[in-house]
Amino acid sequence: MPFITIDVLRDDINRETKKELIRKISEVVTTVLNKDPHLTHIMINEIEDDNWGYAGEQVSVLKEQGFSTAPKK
State the catalytic residue, choosing from 2, 18, 22, 35: 2
Q: Is the dihedral of CA 43, 49, 51, 56 positive or negative?
A: positive
- Tell me if residue 2 is catalytic: yes
C-alpha to C-alpha distances, 65 to 58, 59, 62, nearest whole angstrom: 11, 10, 5
Cite the active site residues.
2
